Amino acid sequence: MLNDEKTVLSHECEGCPIRHRAVCARCESDELERLEEIKYYRSFEAGQTIIWSGDRMEFVGSVVSGIATLTQTMEDGRTQMVGLLLPSDFVGRPGRDGSPYDVVATTDLVMCCFRKRPFEDMMSTTPHIAHRLLEMTLDELDAAREWMLVLGRKTAREKIASLLSIIARRDASLNLRPTQGALVFDLPLTREAMADYLGLTLETVSRQISALKRDGVIELEGKRHVTVPDFSRLLDEAGDDNDGGMLA
């Protein structure tokens, strides 16, 4: 599996854009120093597979910039996205060798990698890391369960609205813009990837996006640039409780 990714020289953890959200968020400076010894950066190009399902993983790490997806595929080709990895999200599972999913970069992407074995050793001696990882895993579990409601019970239109509102919210939270009034963001996914996330076909995704545009819930400039004039309207369409929830 020779990839053509470039290996980048180490940067300092101070000043890292995900310093306060990633698995290292709670670390003290001496702990950061130990982490810096076992970390390295790797870049991936859009479309490149970071880890193949079933493959042995020699590292774990955090997404620094860019977006990746976790997908599961059945023998006959049906695929389901089971996770969307944004900057600060953690990749890999300490204590297990293989990944059960494909991890694919959907945009150009930079990861902060830790060699697996040393990281596992650090986890058992550094409660700050283990604790933060537990917290992040619990959050992911909540998100996965939230998504089960979307997949199991929502209509195609509600599914699209749900996905848009999640992307809008995470984008706003990352860039520290308020989740209120008009929102603008770029879709990081193709129609097909959206379909794989939502358990739909790409045609249905396309039709529902057109319908939301026609109904004035969203505005499109090109295929990817989205404006949401009224976020609470979008939440309504998603069928979510809309008790004025701002970003988490």
Partner DNA sequence: CGCAGAATTGATACATCTCAAGCTGGGTGG
Partner DNA sequence: CCACCCAGCTTGAGATGTATCAATTCTGCG
CA 126 – CA 104 distance, rounded (Å): 30
- Site for DNA contains 206 (CB under 7 A): yes
Q: How far is the CB of 138 from its own copies (least distance, A)?
A: 6
Total residues contacting DNA by CB under 7 A comes to 21
Which of 46/134 has CB closer to its own copies? Answer: 134
Classify 248 as helix, strand or coil.
coil
Which 8-state DSSP code applies to residue 37?
H
Q: Which residues bind its own copies (CB under 8 A)?
A: 70, 72, 74-76, 78-80, 82-83, 93, 95-96, 100-101, 124, 127, 130-131, 133-135, 137-138, 140-142, 144-149, 151-153, 198-199, 239, 241
Residue closer to DNA (CB basis): 139 or 203: 203
Asked if 94 and 136 touch (Cβ cutoff 8 Å), the reply is no
- The piece of 79-87, 119-127, 202-210, 234-242 that touches DNA (CB under 7 A) is 202-210
Is residue 46 classed as helix, strand or coil in its secondary structure?
coil
SS (H, E, C) 105-164: ECCCEEEEEEEHHHHHHHHHHCHHHHHHHHHHHHHHHHHHHHHHHHHHHCCHHHHHHHHH
Least distance CB 120 / its own copies (angstroms): 11
**Interface residues toward DNA, by CB under 7 A:** 155-157, 190-192, 199-207, 209-210, 220, 222-224
